[in-house]
Structure 1
Amino acid sequence: MNMRTVRIGIAAAVVACLAAGCSGKATGGGGESGGVKTGPGVTKDTITVSALTDLTGPYAALGKGVTQAQKLYFDQLNAAGGVCGRKVELLVRDHGYDVQKAVAAYSEIAPRSAALPQVIGSPITNALRSRLESDKLLTIPQAWAHTLLGSRYIQLTGTTYDIDMVNAVAFLVKEKGLKAGDRIGHIHLEGDYGQSALAGSRFAAEKSGLKLVEQQVKATDADMTAQAAAFRKAGVKAILVSVSPKQAASLAGVTAAMGLKVPFAASNSAFAQQLLATPVAPVLEREYYVMTAATPFSADVPGVKKLAGDYQKAFPGQPLDSSVFSGYTTAAIVGEALKKACAAKDLTREGIVTAHRSAKAFDIGLGGAPQDYSQWTRPASRAGYIVKPDKAALGGTRVHQEPAESDLAKSYNPPAG
């Protein structure tokens, strides 16, 4: 979808919304209850937070895991007494990774929301950005494009796509023997996700003396044969992957069929545990590496093991992967902000954001690299795990490298969005 189409779609959704009399502006709430200032989404009994997720589009597997993990967190929070004597309710809307649907859904849920612990998609978050800032809603995207940095109200967790690719290239040079003059492929989605990842790969390739072979695809593309053929013809020594899990599976399958056996280094959004139940599992287990800020469930971290047990009890038979970790931790970010806002007796939207931004460090016992949420112009972290798919490992991945920031990443500054 090009930006002109997106702008037309947004305009149409806004016009339709205005005709129906809805608004993203804060309505209801406000005032004071029990000595605590309150705002939209907060009543005397309930705090409502909302999720704009993908349950039917290209990131449906991610959306399901994130949403179920967030339900688990808020159920546990409520079982422990809630926040400020109130139960926290999670309102969920599926946008199917469609910007127009997301805009319409936001218009419906925003007036009832105190915060948004989930918005899937960089394009969707960017399309809503001005309204999120106007509405002063603490928002945690399941998206890591560096173009989302710079807003006090939008909190990116962990590393951004560009930094992941910088760390990936550094890893491939150090561990896989890439050297100056070698060609390296990068398959990426059009739009914010792919362009952010590409900013990192271009920087890292130039600094390392590598020649970057770029292949762009659309979210609706399913067959990666043409892209694999282009990489094979170019003689690439490794491939960077910044697409959806299904597209990554297609790429892995067709490269193997062509006899192109090279290492892959993927963005966190380019793998899902469900791929290990497909015929490409052996390819992924052999030479597929994933850059992620999420602690894998196979890591020896007591808090992560407890989360795994709690999730499997709540959702038996469901995949246990990075989407679960990400969903739970982002819900916890909002939960901790609500607790701090309660202690400050200010559950207005601005009060919740202020409480969150007071967190120089954030640790709920789930491991991972240190993160800083007190600023918003830089990524919360520049260090992340490198994991490998493994059917035998809890959650489908095992640790290949503990959280680390490469020297290359230390010299990198994200370009202006």
Structure 2
Amino acid sequence: MDRHDVLTPPAPSRPGALAAYRRLPAVAGWSYLVVSALARLPVSMVPIAVLTAVTATSGSIAAGGAAAAATAVGEALGAAGAGVLCDRHGQRRVLLLLVAAHLIALTGFVLALGGAAVPALLAAAFLAGATLPQVSPLSRVRWMRLSPADLRTAMAYEGVVDELSFVAGPASVGLIALAAGTSAPLLVAAGVTAVFATAFAAHRTHRVTGPRPAAPATAAVPAQRTRGRAPSVMRPVLGMLAMGAVFGGTQAALTASATDAGRPSDGSLVYAALAIGSTITALGMVLVPAHVSLRRRWFLSAVGLLAGALAMLAAAGTTLALVPATFLTGLFVGPVMVTVNTVTAETGGHRTGGAAMTLLTSGTVLGTALGSALAGGLADAAGTRWAFAVAAGAAAALIALAAGRLAAPAGHTGAR
């Protein structure tokens, strides 16, 4: 059966932001919106839960940080591999295998907390990250194939849900750990994965991501398209690497600033202002006129992001001043994230959509780790204020990436 016979999107409705978002449940169903939102929570829960559990059981912040880093590296590598497998074999089969593997990995990690040596803990943390079901990028792939006409609205919606999950996930870890112990968040994350990631894998929308037939080996045109598409995929991946550096650098710099003020826990609270600002503008991206090109959106959003990063640098040392500066930065995070994902969706191609989208996740995860390490090193070596220079430098890199042509496949002009 052809995928277009499985899920046929309704005819476009009248223009407007509310009407645009109303089309999403009409295309995929309300159950899909709920399941895909909850299924991505473990991605934001597991790394911080690993950090919390290892730090508490070992008494070493260094060990906890190393375990969190191992989780991040595992996630970055696992995400890219999962995307390739989903393109080849379809999402349902791969996701169900990942769910089973992740539950085994988390069980092994919890058991290792009972007294395993640090190398064993690091290996278990790596496997827990590598097997995390990457619902967020794979959900974007489904939208690419469900209804291309609604792609920009879907990317805006996905950006909002991602931001909310990265607020709710760490917060839930803290509350669960406080109420039931430091291992409990890992068990809750396992339960969420078992229920909602499985439901996401089995949801009827998976049928639009079935195995794609291999391209004819002798076809010259697909080869040309592949060569032309590579730069357009790599540019967003580098963009998400820079965005990850913004996240990691800002988190580390805010934590250092709050620690200097004698209130280390304030760092995460101030960082929430970034997520709030990002959610607001990501939601409003559907209001941007269609004639405003993706290249212009990327460039202007990156310029705003640089302004916000410089505002944080100027406000360093004063928590009260950092809140509005961080919120200002967040206002431009949402547009950059939505735009980069949209560029990938519109230029990455349907055959390799899973690989392209999960590569963005890998870039973000690695960028976050790199940004955090750089900002932490700068805070120790040159003072807290200079830790914010990492976010500013990453924003400048985003401007440089936007300055080049966002290449698109032949016949497509939306990404220029």
TM-score band (shorter)? under 0.3
Q: TM-score, normalization: structure 2?
A: 0.28
Higher helix share: 2
Higher strand share: 1
Q: TM-score, normalization: structure 1?
A: 0.28
User: Which structure carries more relative contact order (alpha carbon 8 Å, separation 6+)?
Assistant: 2
